[in-house]
Amino acid sequence: MAIRVVYQDNSLDMIPPHILQLGIECNKIKMFYRDSEKRWVTPGVDQLRQDHHGEYQDGPDRRLTHSLVV
């Protein structure tokens, strides 16, 4: 499934999911449409599901990636 993106020059495109992270890291993507939330997401403003190391971020809607210490 392709993802709708807006580039920094405001042009629109549809790209494969595996290209999205690279576009964000290279600062080519201004925003992308997250279909699961039915909204546009802006990198650097909105929380992204993965950080630049590919590890999931903690948050109320994300799974924990580390052990809980009691």
DSSP 6-26: EETTS-EEEE-HHHHHHHHHT
Cα 12 to Cα 59: distance, rounded to the nearest angstrom: 30
pLDDT at position 60 is 45
Cα 44 to Cα 24: distance, rounded to the nearest angstrom: 9
* Mean pLDDT for all residues in the chain: 79
Q: 1-14: per-residue pLDDT in tens? A: 899 999 999 999 99
* pTM strictly above 0.75: no
pLDDT at position 40 is 96
Q: 17-66: per-residue pLDDT in tens? A: 999 999 999 999 999 999 999 999 999 898 876 554 554 444 444 444 44
